[in-house]
Chain A
Amino acid sequence: MPARVAVLGGGVGGTLIANLLVKELGNEVKVTLVDPTGMHHYQPGYLYVALGQANGRWLVRDERTLLRKEVDLLVEKAVKVDADAQTVQLGRGGVLDWDYLVIATGARLAPDLVPGLLESSHEFYSLEGAQRLREALRRFRGGRLVVGIAGIPYKCPPAPVEFIFLVEEHLRKRGLRERSEIHYLSPLNRCFTIESASKLLQPMLDERGVHLETFFNVDAVDPSAGVVSSLEGEKLEYDLLVLVPPHRGQQVVVDSGLGDPSGWLPTDRNTLNVEGHERIFAIGDATNLPISKSGSTAHFEAPVVASRIASLIKGTAPKTNYGGRVMCFVETGNRKATVLRFDYEHPPAPPRPNSMWHVAKWMFNRVYWGVVPQGRLPERMPLPIPEGRSGT
């Protein structure tokens, strides 16, 4: 009888793990992927939708088309995991039994945690939000644009600063830059969580005339007055407000009693086991790991989890560990970009922005569908990744 693996979530990590498992184990495994929508979103593209550079239709595909035929897809909600009984209760009343479980349910946006945010602020962390922001930018005729982060952790850490660089260029091209002020609210005393990246990016924000407001932890928004206020006691007026909403783990994690108070899964940083559960793994945004919540992280974690589950099924010693590997492109405007490559032990040393990394990001955006979910992206191609950073 084949081992039964349940995968919750059809994002980058869940899809890749499901495909890798059936590819490696064939008839020895029965993989069932559960996803509430059955649609796979390429979330890094939302940024470009907001700026009118991409069509939302390019960013969504039927999950079934990305899975190998041997993987079963259930399009319904996972309601509750019973770790002892090794079951998942499903939204339509069914129960899925498993021998091994992968929780790849991602993060949810929680704008309701900041008073006034839902009514007042735009975002580019959902397709609908990005489309609304595109319309708001189209109507914008100059004024004070305030961009910020309303809670850490959040997905794709470079995205807000990328948005700043690209929207500054966007306003310049439309002849609105002289009539606009751009303010960037950072919860920290620098523009980015990672210090080495901040050292590169902060002077570039200065050059573009962006006002960096440090230690501005968004506390509330007053939509009628057009004012955003901080926990530190500052207030700033805005004409157009774009805030990354607070993020939390998914309800199924909370309801299953597996998460911390914010809904993140306590996860072993190397084995990617949910702590205390040998047969349950977590990857991607759903974990509590102190690394980027990004598709790149899930992409590098998935082969580790697939390999460890395969070893458990075969009764052999696990061969791989996750070393914290992440790789993120960072658009810096003017058709240039840089790249952050790092792991638990090696902070990034980003190169000066250049056109090569910008082209690489655009290429990646286009080839994603045909290579990443299927595990066809070779380790070192088409993008150079330094040796000794895989942690595997």
Chain B
Amino acid sequence: MTTANVTRSIDARGMPCPGPLMSLIGAIREGQVGDVIEVLSSDQGSRTDIPAWVNKAGHELVEVAEEEGFARFIIKKVR
């Protein structure tokens, strides 16, 4: 899957913890099953918090990519 499939993108760079995770949770809450959400985060805590939450909530972590100074998470809402 590439970023071309993304249905919603959240640029949370510069946002401190737990901002990026809470933004993702908000997007999942508002979204539809099948939505693909991209989160960009420069917060180190997101590297553990976002995968842990996605796993707990039963969604799919499609991709984690390290970019220059931030990480890109691609999450698919599956329920």
Give A contacts to B, CB under 8 Å. Answer: 152, 187-189, 193, 195, 215, 217, 219, 231-233, 290
Contacts and interface: CB of A to CB of B under 8 A. Distances in A.
Secondary structure at chain A's binding surface: helix, strand, loop or mixed?
loop
Contacts of A232: 53, 56-58
Secondary structure at chain B's binding surface: helix, strand, loop or mixed?
helix
Contact-residue size bin, chain B (C-beta under 8 Å from the other chain)? 10 to 19
Contacts, number: 36
A219 B79 CA distance: 14
A197 to B, nearest CB: 12
A290 B22 contact: no
A187 B53 CA distance: 10
B25 A217 contact: yes
Contacts of B28: 231
A193 B43 CA distance: 14
B51 to A, nearest CB: 11
Interface string B43-79: 0010001001100111000000000000000000001
A215 B16 contact: no
A149 to B, nearest CB: 11
Contacts of B21: 188
A252 B38 CA distance: 32
Interface string B24-38: 010011000000000
Contacts of B17: 193, 195
Contact of A233 (B18, B45, B52, B58): B58
Nearest to B49: A189
B39 to A, nearest CB: 16
Given A231-B57, A232-B57, A187 B25 contact: yes
Nearest to B53: A215
Given A187-B25, A217-B25, A290 B15 contact: yes
23 contacts: A152-B18, A152-B22, A188-B18, A188-B21, A189-B52, A193-B17, A193-B18, A195-B17, A215-B52, A215-B53, A215-B57, A217-B25, A219-B29, A231-B28, A231-B57, A232-B53, A232-B56, A232-B57, A232-B58, A233-B58, A233-B79, A290-B15, A290-B16
